[in-house]
């Protein structure tokens, strides 16, 4: 019974989405024809779909290149961000010195650093990974620190009263209590890692979806440009979806 209701709700939501998508697609297709828009400005949707099919191998390969950069940069940001937060949280000296530095660095437009990273690390994967890392790093730090210091005071007192040591309190109380907040940071960080990787490819690369976008633009192949944009959206959506599934495992977030 319950399952039926949930299934019905899901079905309805899906139908609504499909209707919206079809309507938008129809408006796109019809308007381009009706208003006689030049294809280099906005190609017909059907042309875009056609180029996606024609260049499917290229799109897939370049998507994998970009996905690889995003995922490596993202994982580095999450692990590095959490570790740095723990150091800042546990060590007053780091809180006084490293933390202000991190905040200061955050104020810097990281996009402006991208050319330097290309000079330092070259045209290959590592510079893109590092730029993705730079973009995604800060929200992880902020949310981890916020989660750790937001441990409910009554629970901290309870752990003192049952004579739990520092490590036990960390593993059994502070970390799980901080996880919902950490997961929020991880969710925020994912789209930023995508931006970072694409920015890196814009600034200096011969591979990846960012490069594909620039290349298509240079050759005025707008249908190809749109195909690449759709690939970026699908990639970003997929990656975010994976993070969201992982984040949902921390089910006590809303309690």
In the block, residue with structure tokens 């920015």: 199
Nearer to another protein, 175 or 230 (CB): 175
By the rule CB under 8 A, 164 interacts with another protein: yes
**Which of 173, 214, 229, 230 touches another protein by CB under 8 A?**
173
Long-range contacts of 57-61 (CB under 8 A, 24+ apart): 58/212, 59/209, 59/212, 59/227, 59/228, 59/231
Nearer to another protein, 131 or 179 (CB): 179
Interface with another protein: number of residues (CB under 8 A): 18
Token code pair at residue 1: 């019974």
By the rule CB under 8 A, 245 interacts with another protein: no
By the rule CB under 8 A, 160 interacts with another protein: yes
C-alpha dist (Å) from residue 163 to 52, 156, 166, 178: 62, 11, 10, 21
By the rule CB under 8 A, 2 interacts with another protein: no
Residue 9, phi then psi, degrees to nearest 5: -65, -40
By the rule CB under 8 A, 234 interacts with another protein: no
Measure the CA–CA gap between 39 and 29, rounded to whole angstroms. Answer: 12
Q: Nearest approach, Cβ of 249 to another protein (angstroms)?
A: 11
Measure the CA–CA gap between 190 and 246, rounded to whole angstroms. Answer: 12
Nearer to another protein, 111 or 177 (CB): 177
Handedness of CA 39, 44, 47, 51 (dihedral sign): positive
Q: Nearest approach, Cβ of 87 to another protein (angstroms)?
A: 25
Q: Nearest approach, Cβ of 246 to another protein (angstroms)?
A: 16
Contact residues for another protein, defined by CB under 8 A:
154-155, 157-164, 168, 172-173, 176-177, 251-252, 255
């Amino acid at each position: 019974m319950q399952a039926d209701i949930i299934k019905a709700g899901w079905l309805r939501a899906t139908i609504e989405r499909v209707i919206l998508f079809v309507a938008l697609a129809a408006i796109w297709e019809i308007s381009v024809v009706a208003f006689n828009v030049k294809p280099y400005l906005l190609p017909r949707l059907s042309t875009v779909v056609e180029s996606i099919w024609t260049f499917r191998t290229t799109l897939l390969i370049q998507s994998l290149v970009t996905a690889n950069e995003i995922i490596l940069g993202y994982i580095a940001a999450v692990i590095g961000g959490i570790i740095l937060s723990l150091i800042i949280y546990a060590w007053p000296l780091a809180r006084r010195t490293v933390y202000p530095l991190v905040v200061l660095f955050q104020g810097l437009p990281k996009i402006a650093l991208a050319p330097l990273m290309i000079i330092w690390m070259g045209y290959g994967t590592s510079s893109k990974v590092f730029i993705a890392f730079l973009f995604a790093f800060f929200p992880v730090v902020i949310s981890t620190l916020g989660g750790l210091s937001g441990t409910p005071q009554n629970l901290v007192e309870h752990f003192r009263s049952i004579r739990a040591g520092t490590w036990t309190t960390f593993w059994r109380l502070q970390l799980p209590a901080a996880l919902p907040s950490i997961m929020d940071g991880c969710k925020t960080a994912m789209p930023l890692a995508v931006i970072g990787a694409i920015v890196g490819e814009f600034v200096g690369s011969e591979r990846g979806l960012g490069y594909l976008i620039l290349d298509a633009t240079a050759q005025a192949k707008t249908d190809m440009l749109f195909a690449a944009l759709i690939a970026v959206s699908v990639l970003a959506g997929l990656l975010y979806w994976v993070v969201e599934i992982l984040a949902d495992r921390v089910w006590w977030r809303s309690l």
